[in-house]
Amino acid sequence: MEKFIVQGGNRLSGTISPSGNKNAVLPILAATLLTDKTVTLENVPRIKDVEAMLQLLESIGSQVAWEGDDCLTVKTDLPSGGTVKMAERFAGEIRASILFAGPLIARGKSVYFPPPGGDVIGRRRLDTHFYALESLGATVQTDKRGFTLKAGKLKGTTIFLDEPSVTATENAIMASLFAQGGVVIRNAASEPHVQDLIRFLNHLGASISGIGSNMLTVKAVEALQGGHWRIIGDHIEVGSFISLAAVTGGEITIKNAGVQYLHMIRYYFSKLGISMEFRGSDVFVPGNQQLVIENDHFGEVPTIYDAPWPGFPTDLTSIAVVTATQAAGTVLIFEKMFNGRLFFVDKLSAMGARIVLCDPHRVVVAGVSKLYGTELVSPDIRAGMALLIASLCAEGESIIHNIGQIDRGYLLLERRLGKLGARIERVVD
C-alpha cells in the first residue's frame, strides 16, 4: 500500500494538460472486441483501471502492446465456442468489467461475470444492462456468485432504457451493432465519453446517428474494421484542476481542455465564485480569487446538483463540496445519483470544514473554513481527489492512505501537480 504525504498552503501556478478520459477509454477498450483487426489508441492514461481492463482483454485472448507512454495496440482473436469466463481477479477490481458484455454478446459469445467491482458509492444496479441485452435477444441468468449472459440471434428493436445509465447505454450500443434490422435506443446517456465511443465505432465502420442526443439509431453492419483513434481529454480532471487552482489562489492554464464540454461545470463553479476564461481550446483560471458563493434571487441559499448530461457531472460533486468550503457563504449540494458518494465529508469536517450531512444525498456547506492537515483515507476515486485538493489548501501536513483509489482515475498526480508547485510525496505505507 502507498500513501501521499502532502504539505499544504502553497499557491499552485503554471500550465497543465488533462490526461485521456478514463470513462472514454474503458468502453473503447471493451469495444476492440468487436473486430478481429488491429486497433491503435492514443492518449491512453496508464492508470489502474486501464491496466485492469487490459488484463481482462489479455485473459480472453487479446494481444495488447504499449507503443509509447500513452499509445497502445489491441488485436483480438476470440476463442471459438463455449462460454467466455471473465477473470474474477480483475473483474472484481473494476466496475467497467461489465462493458465486456455488449461486445461479446454482439460477437455471439456467452459470457460469465463475477460481480463487478469499482467504487463503493451506493447501490449501482445492473438491471438496465440486463433489460437492454434481453430486448435484443440475449438471456440473463443471475445468482449470488455472478451472472451468465447467453447470446441468441440478436434482432433489431427499440430499447427504452429505464434510466440514462452511461455504461448500460454503451453496452446497448455495442450489442446492437450487428443486430438484424437495426436498433433504436431511447433515453440514452449522452455524456462526452459516450459520444467518443460512438465516434470511435463509426470510425471503424459502424453506422450510429444521434450523437449527443438521448435517442440513438444503430443501423446493422456486417463487420467492423481496425483503425487509429485518439481518446478525448478528461473533463472531470479539468474540473478538478479548476477547483485546485481556485482554492489555492493559483493562476493555472489548462491546455486542450475540451471547452465544449465545460459549460455546465463553468456555470456551477461560477456559483461558488470561481472565474475562468475560455481561450480557444484552453482554460485560464486567474490567481488570487476571492471566492464568494452567489445566492439565488431574493437571497435564497443556492443549490448545486448533479444530473445526467448535459447536467453537472456526478463525478465532480465531491470536488464541488471541497471548493465550497473555501467560498464565503452557504450552499446546498445535492447528490442525486448515488447514495454513498457524500459519506466522505466526515473527513473534511475533521480538517475543520463546516458541513452538515443532511441525509445520504445532501450536504450544507458553510464557508470560508480554514482547513488543517490531518490523517485521511481515500474511500473512492473522486473523494480521494477531493481530499487531495483539501490537503493542498490546508495548513500543515496531511497523510492520505489508500491512494490506490486515486490512482485508478488520475495519472501520476504527484509529478504533474508537483510541476505547479504542489508538495506531494508518494511513499510506501
pTM of structure: 0.94
User: What's the CATH code, domain 22-230?
Assistant: 3.65.10.10
Whole-number pLDDT of residue 123: 45
319 close to 382: Cβ distance less than 8 angstroms? yes
161 close to 132: Cβ distance less than 8 angstroms? yes
Our answer to whether residue 429 is catalytic in this structure is: no
Whole-number pLDDT of residue 153: 84
Q: Per-domain residue ranges for the chain?
A: 2-19+233-428, 22-230
Whole-number pLDDT of residue 80: 77
Query: Could you tell me the three cell numbers for 292?
Result: 464568494
The answer to whether domain 2-19+233-428 and domain 22-230 are alike in fold is yes
List strand residue ranges (DSSP E) for 45-178, in order. 62-66, 72-76, 83-85, 110-113, 139-143, 146-150, 155-160
Query: Could you tell me the three cell numbers for 282?
Result: 484552453
Whole-number pLDDT of residue 92: 67
Catalytic residue, candidates 49, 119, 306, 380: 119
* Rounded Cα–Cα distance for residues 66 and 46 (Å): 10
Whole-number pLDDT of residue 400: 98
Whole-number pLDDT of residue 124: 55
Q: Average pLDDT across each block of 10 residues of the chain; the chain has 429 residues. List them in order.
A: 95 97 97 97 95 91 94 91 75 80 92 66 70 92 82 90 96 96 97 98 98 97 97 98 98 98 97 98 97 96 96 97 98 92 96 97 96 96 97 98 94 97 94
| CATH architecture of the domain formed by 2-19+233-428 | Alpha-beta prism (3.65)
What lies within 8 Å, CB to CB, of 409 at 6+ separation is: 22, 47, 49, 236, 381, 382, 385
H/E stretch holding 188: none
159 close to 185: Cβ distance less than 8 angstroms? yes
42 secondary structure, DSSP code: E
Whole-number pLDDT of residue 95: 73
Helix (H, G, I), strand (E, B) or coil at 33: helix
Angle at 175 between CA 169 and CA 177, to 5 degrees: 105
